[in-house]
Amino acid sequence: MRFHSRILVTLVLGPLLAVIVAGAAVAARDHDIVPEDYFDLVSLGNLAASPDGSLLAYTESRWGQGKEGRSMDLWVVARKGGKRTRLTFGGFGGAGAVWSADGQFIYFLGQDRAGQDKPPHDGSRQVWRITPLGQGPTAVTRVPDGVGSFCLSPDNHALYYTTTEESDEDDWSGLRKRFPDLEYGHGTRTTTAVHRLDLDSWRTETVHPASRYIWDMKLSPDGKRLAMITTVDRPLINREGWSRVDVLDLATSRIDSVTSRQWRRDHPSPYGWLEDLAWAPDGKALAFVISYDGYASRIWTAERADRSWSLHEVTRPGKVSYAGGLKWRGQGRTLCYLGEQMARIRVLAVEKVTSGTQGKTRVLTPGDWVAAGFAFDRRGRSTAVIAETTNRMNDIYTVSGSGKMEPITDVNPQVATWKLPQISHVAWAGADGDTCWGILELPPGYKAADGPLPAVIELHGGPTSSTKYRLRLWIYGRSVMAARGYALLSPNYHGSTGYGDEFLAKLIGRENEIEVADITAGTRWLIDQGYADPARIGVMGWSNGGYLTNCMIAAQPELYAAASSGAGVLDMVIQWGAEDTPGHVINFNQGLPWQQPEHYRAASPLFGLDKVRTPTLIHVGGDDPRVPPTNSRALYRALHRYLNVPCQLVVYPGEPHGLTTHENRLAKIKWDLAWFDRYLLGKDKAAEAE
């Protein structure tokens, strides 16, 4: 169906905002983006403000070469801007960075790979500290096999950290010990102990023995209670509905379970993940989030009165989806988080959150921003944000009271020379008559008079996710395809975040149907608008995007002249039985395979493969636990051995769900470009070696 109105299309042909660092010269945009540019990008994270707000600690991640992955180091910059100071080197780390209350040290998780056989120089993960001037780093812990996570006491006198233990205590332990090299389904439990390190005497004591596995922990502002998200064992499946929030009284060792099975009974799914613990400054409330595959994440607070806890949901405005970052601002009851709406992510502040009531919700970062993290000083008066726009990669910004954002870093200055794709947030009529949205990228300098282009439909994963309104050079096509003369459309189909809870949940029970209609309509819209040559359209995606690629080539083979399917599901029954988070499959199919066999069959593109005619490139990590390689191998067997469809299978040995090395990510990009160039542009074999 053609969507006639162009009113909903917002083209961004020039700079979104004048966000050039003061005094910097405007560079000429004369560089054509190439795949190798991806590996020169610096990614920011772990933003933490000093108590007085004058300094910001954060991490910069960079790609290594060949078989190397991305390494992380700790940096610091003044809130007023100026020179960045690098604190660690050689991929030492910086995760979990927190400031001491007096601002003298930054504590973080790091790994010293000096090659020694004893901690802390054996490559194990330990807690380190360093001054903002770079004095250090000094090992705080020296634990064999390393630590899991840590919390710093508010008075700077103690550090709490976790270690893991394994036990083997059921009736079959004897046989397992006799044949230890075999793999067993269960029987050996991994649990977590909590230890307190006195930073004055450097003595350590165990304050909580290993009884459950701890995924996250936060110390109360008075240092007396430890909130934890726990499960009975470490396998990831345990977080799907079997996790709970516990609060440990450090003086008495009493544990209160804040969430119960009863609390979950009214939820949209029993398979919710608990995450993002955050204590209120007065220590009388604990905020946390429960997230689902297929349904909107929900924010909760637990209010403490004597020895009991009352649970209250914090409501979100309009079509806002929770996108992470839950924390309290200053010393009051203002709860903040990243909220996604219409492909933007902004920092939101909910005022006066107490005892089940809340005040208004304010947007602290209005405008066309995609925020990835934020931090406040101790009083909550200064705000810093890691954010992206449509013409600038991630940087750190300060935020004024009016929401004006000023950059204080420029970590990817080379982008100022790039010829940027034309990025727009577009809309068309999708399934059920609902408006569907997506991100359109057109080549630099493209004009409507230039006529239709070869095009690629890029499908995001999740599906409880979305493609954002930002500049992104990505191994799944963004920026690279436009630089090579393609139009690229990334549909935010039903089931995507940021367009309202109803739009999100409509995908439940309708996989391989409603979102296929959305994507088909978006593809035809691209043709009708004159952007795409109908004879030269490809489709690609990874994870759920790979699954949808499989769905599209089965449902609409005449639309797509080439496809790249990455880590995609082919059969939902096999996926339920083999993946590490099966709640995803259960939610979308509204039950277990023997309860909803027709749903599982309808959602599986396997049963439509006889219609496939599209030349298909298939990628998968050899050790992928999320979408096991069996799906991709079965797709390859069907197309290559039985259906005689042009295809190629590319397996990346040892790789998990996401590719981790420079070499493998580059190979993925190069294979995709060669494949689409061959089947959409008609280039010969010689061109494939470029």
Share of the chain above pLDDT 70, in %: 96
Across the chain, mean pLDDT equals 94
For 372, residues 6+ apart whose C-beta sits below 8 A from its C-beta are 44, 45, 338, 345, 386, 387, 388, 394
Residues 268-280, mean pLDDT to the nearest whole number: 97
Q: Give the pLDDT confidence of 628-651 residue by residue, as tens digits.
A: 999 999 999 999 999 999 999 999
CATH of the domain at 581: 3.40.50.1820
* Interval 438-474: pLDDT, tens: 999 999 999 999 999 999 999 999 999 999 999 999 9
| Count of Cβ atoms closer than 10 Å to residue 628 Cβ | 21
Q: Which of 609, 631, 616 is nearest to 672 (CA)?
A: 616
Rg of the Cα atoms in the chain: 26
Spell out a b/e string for 647-657, using b for 16 or more CB atoms within 10 Å of the CB, else e.
bbbbbbeebeb
Summarize the confidence of residues 388-408 as an average pLDDT: 96
Residue 511 belongs to some domain of the structure: yes
Domain count, the chain: 1
What pLDDT band is residue 7 in, cutting at 50, 70 and 90?
Answer: very low
**Is 494 a member of any domain?**
yes
Cβ 197 vs Cβ 161: under 8 Å: yes
Which has the higher per-residue pLDDT, 24 or 524? 524
> Alpha-carbon distance 120 to 554, whole Å?
54
pLDDT tier at 686, thresholds 50, 70, 90: very low
Answer yes or no: is pLDDT of 25 > 80.
no
Is residue 186 over pLDDT 70?
A: yes
Q: 225-231 and 244-249: which strand pairing? A: antiparallel
Q: Is 227 exposed, middle or buried (0-12, 13-18, 19+ CB in 10 A)?
A: buried
Of residues 193, 107, 88, the one with CA closest to residue 147? 193
- Structure pTM? 0.94
Give the pLDDT band (50/70/90) at residue 687.
Answer: low
Asked whether residue 648 is assigned to any structural domain, the reply reads: yes
- Residue 533 is assigned to a structural domain of this protein: yes
Check whether 586 has a pLDDT greater than 60. yes
* Cα dihedral 308, 311, 312, 316 sign: positive
Residue 638: domain span: 419-685
Scan for tokens 């997506």, then name that residue: 438
